[in-house]
Amino acid sequence: MKIFLIFLTFIALSIEAKLKIEISQGSKDLPKIAIVPFKSNMKIGESISMLIQDNLTLFGEFKALPKNEMLSFPSKEENFFYRDWNILNVDYVVIGNFQEENSEFINIEYFVFNISLNKLILRGDVSGNYSEKEKISKVISNRVYKSITGLNGVFDTKIAYILNPSREEYKICISDIDGTDEEVLFESSAPLMSPSWSSDLKKLAYVSFEKGYPEIYMQDLFSGKRESIKTLGLSNSAPVWSPDNKKLAFVMSSSGNPDIYIYNLRNKKISRHTTHYGIDTEPSWSPNSKKLLFTSNRSGSPQIYELTVSSNRIKRVTLDGDYNARASYFPDGKDIVLVHGNNGVFHIGTKKLKSRFINTISKTSLDESPTISPNGNIIIYATKNNSQGYLAGLTLDGKSKFTLPVKFGSVREPAWSPFMN
């Protein structure tokens, strides 16, 4: 099936952070994949193939076969022979060719083979502008990834984060998940916090202290236009967009008591949903937009609770540990990821909603702000090395761990975008 590419363009002030994923720990037992250079008259085929290989190995989920170890270079199904790849113990092979190409337009046909099954598992084609080969490669990579794993690929998703180049500089940055196309959406000499994507990828909500107190802004990613939630000067924080794109949950402090509120994006009305004397904060929506997780100290220590929005019914979710906070649902709505702490040591953990136990998955000691890939397979979080904040991540199967270091400053509060439609 052909697809003509349309991609978002963001307002950019400057390029700063230079995130790049570096694999810090990888499993030796990874599927081996061969990306054969695509046949092309304009010598772009090998470039596209290398971009696809970079994508598929980005998070350490596959081991790529080097070109110099390949025994053949097929470009179509009829000249593909399984024996060439069985000899090399390859699990999957991707081949392709350029059916049409000129200086402005290209059309690529590609195939994916499962070697152990002796089976073609994907045949497809993609069309687009010659100048957008990186984006074309991400489309192909997403489809290849799904044909192998059954999960949607995330190679064309984006990540937002807060960058502190110095103590008096705060920037909200956005980049592709592989660190390319980095842009600064907004910068200030006052603190910025809590970026959250709208589900249509058109806006980003965040907290700014530019007026001397925390205020929530929603910024259009195309025009740069900003608007704030009008709360008569009351402090508000922790905005999070609902998956149905109709509401924004946030925290507002009335008489010094933080509670969970919801802002209706259509009629601009605000409703209150918790009224406890304890601190209620860090809301996060369920995939169906009907429930919220939030952090509260109403039991004496920070723990995770779940709120049913229609009835305001609340139940406690976490029972283990003296600190549980910053929870989010996985895309299936059955599990959650959170910051789990004991005795001042904080790790990223996961928990099934119907189970009591928390599974600790990170090994560093000052971890915070986990964000889940939209396919539910990868977690990126913020951590520290001495005083420098940086981002780290891992795959849920535990086979790969990686970091996203920056050359200067500190990075925190990552927010993974939804899938691009």
**Which pLDDT tens digit goes with each residue over 269-308?**
999 999 998 999 999 999 999 999 999 999 999 999 999 9
Kindly report the pTM of this predicted structure: 0.91
Q: How confident is the model at residue 223 (pLDDT cuts 50, 70, 90)?
A: very high
Q: What integer pLDDT is reported at residue 12 of this predicted model? A: 46
Q: What integer pLDDT is reported at residue 398 of this predicted model? A: 87
**Where along the chain do the CATH 3.40.50.10070 domains lie?**
28-149
The three-state secondary structure class of 135 is helix
**Where along the chain do the CATH 2.120.10.30 domains lie?**
158-416
* Predicted confidence (pLDDT) at residue 365 exceeds the cutoff of 80: no
Q: Does domain 28-149 have CATH number 3.40.50.10070?
A: yes
List the one residue out of 327, 414, 409, 419 whose CA is nearest residue 16. 409
CA distances to 198, 354, 381, 401 from 139, in Å: 22, 36, 26, 24
Q: What integer pLDDT is reported at residue 150 of this predicted model? A: 97
Strand partners, 184: 173
CATH number corresponding to 158-416: 2.120.10.30
Q: Which helix (H) or strand (E) holds 375?
A: none
> CA 265 to CA 235: how far, in whole Å?
19
How confident is the prediction for the chain on average, in pLDDT? 91
351 or 6, higher pLDDT: 351
List the one residue out of 289, 287, 298 whose CA is nearest residue 336. 287
What secondary structure does DSSP assign to 4-36, as a single string?
B--------S--------EEEEE-SS--EEEEP
Which residue type occupies 8?
L
Query: CA angle 217-223-227, nearest 5°?
Result: 20
Please identify which residue in the block is written with the tokens 């009305």: 269
What is the per-residue pLDDT across 56-98, written as a single tens digit (0 to 9) for each?
999 999 999 999 999 999 999 999 999 999 999 999 999 999 9
* Predicted confidence (pLDDT) at residue 184 exceeds the cutoff of 70: yes
